[in-house]
Structure 1
C-alpha cells in the first residue's frame, strides 16, 4: 500500500489546559510530529489552552500553522497572532467549513463539548460520504475511554453501524496515529446527492 501525502491536518481541542500536565505534553508531542513530517496544522486559532499549546509546539519546531476563528470569539478565546495565517470568519459555520476545506484529516485532542461537536460533525460528514478524510481521537491518558465504550454500546444497540464505528481511529500515540492516517483508505459508504442516496 502506498502512503498518501498529507499536507494539512485539522486538530480540534480545548481552550482550557485540562487537569493534568499529560494533556499539554501530548499536544506538544503531536505538534512536534506535525513539524517533523512537514504537516501543516489547521486549528481553531486561539492562543490559550490545549489549542495554544499545540500551535506553539508546531511553530517552535519550524512548522506552519493556520488558525481559523470567528470574530465573535477572537477576544474570548484570545486569537493567536503569531501564526503563519489567521483567518477571522463571520460565524462558527463558516469557521468549521473552512477548517474542513483546508485539512486532509481530523484529530481530536482532549477538549470539551465544542471539541466533541466538531469531531462528530466531521465524522458524520464522512459517514454520509461527503468526504473520505480520516477522523481520529488522540486518546491521551484514557481521556476518551468512556466515549469509545459508549460508541461500542451504540453499535451493540444497532444505532451505529460497525462500518461507521470503524471510521473513527483511536490511538494513544501521535506517531502511530499519523502513520495510520498516511495509510488510511476510506471504507465504501453510500453517498448522498441532494435527496438521493447512491
Structure 2
C-alpha cells in the first residue's frame, strides 16, 4: 500500500515537558515535507493544534475530523484544509480510519490511548492492514510497551501479533518504519484450546 496519509492521535493538552510540543511540531512538518496528508482530531489546542499548525505552515494538507459535541470544547481548528464534523465519536474514528494509510500516536491521555488501541485491535482482527506506531519520546510509551509484553507472557496476546504496534524514539525511525511496514497478524488471535 502506498503511503498517502497519516492519522495522528495525540493530546489536547501540551503536556508537562516542552519537548512534547516541539516533537508534535516537528512531526507535523515532516508529514507535510513527505507530501502526505495529516489526518487528526480537528482541534486547535494542545499537541493536536501544534501538529496541525506545523503541517499547514509547511504547506501540507490537513484533514480534521471532530464530533459536533466536541467542536466547541476542543475549539475546532478553523484554518484546516478540510474539517469534517461528525455526530459521534464512533463516526469520528471510522472517518479517521477510512481517510488514513497509517496511524501514529504521540504522547497523550485517555483519548489517545483509546484511539490507539482500537486501531491495534482492528489490525489484529484484519479489519485493516495499516501500520500503527508510537513516537516514544523520552520513553513515554515504555510502560505501555512493557504492559503489552506482559500480556503476551501471560497468554492474552499472541507473540505473532506483537509487531502490530511499534515504538520509535525519533521521527526518522518512525517514518521509515511506516514506509516499510508489512502486515502479518496471526490468523487467530487466541491460542487453540486443548481438548
- TM-score band, normalised by shorter chain: over 0.9
SS of residue in 1 equivalent to 2:65: strand
Q: Is residue 42–residue 66 contact of structure 1 (8 Å, CA) maintained in 2?
A: yes
Where structure 1 has 5 or more consecutive residues not aligned to the other structure, the ranges are 193-198
> Which residue of structure 2 aligns with residue 132 of structure 1?
129
Q: Could you report, residue by residue, the CA deviation over 1:158-196 in whole angstroms, capped at 9, with x for unpaired residues?
A: 11111212110110111211111111110053289xxxx
Over the residues paired in the alignment, what is the CA RMSD in angstroms?
1.3
Q: Which of 53, 78, 82 is the matching residue for 2:79?
A: 82
For structure 1, which segment, 151-160 or 40-49, has the greater mean C-alpha deviation from structure 2 after superposition?
151-160
Q: Could you report, residue by residue, the CA deviation over 1:108-156 in whole angstroms, capped at 9, with x for unpaired residues?
A: 0000001000000011000011110000111111111111111111111
Q: Is residue 34–residue 58 contact of structure 1 (8 Å, CA) maintained in 2?
A: yes
> Which residue of structure 2 aligns with residue 143 of structure 1?
140
Q: Which of 169, 179, 191 is the matching residue for 1:172?
A: 169
| TM-score normalised over the length of structure 1 | 0.93
Q: Which of 178, 181, 186 is the matching residue for 1:181?
A: 178
Aligned length: 189
Structure 1 segments (4+ residues) deviating >6 Å: none
CA distance in 1: counterparts of 2:162 and 2:179, whole angstroms: 20
Q: Which of 116, 121, 134 is the matching residue for 1:119?
A: 116
Q: Could you say if the C-alpha distance between residues 148 and 188 of structure 1 is closer, same or farther in structure 2, counting changes exceeding 3 Å?
A: closer
> Which residue of structure 2 aligns with residue 196 of structure 1?
none
CA distance in 2: counterparts of 1:187 and 1:76, whole angstroms: 39
Greater length-normalized contact order (CA 8 Å, ≥ 6 residues apart)? 1
> Which residue of structure 2 aligns with residue 190 of structure 1?
187
Where structure 2 has 5 or more consecutive residues not aligned to the other structure, the ranges are 190-195
CA distance in 2: counterparts of 1:22 and 1:11, whole angstroms: 17
Q: Is residue 130–residue 191 contact of structure 1 (8 Å, CA) maintained in 2?
A: no
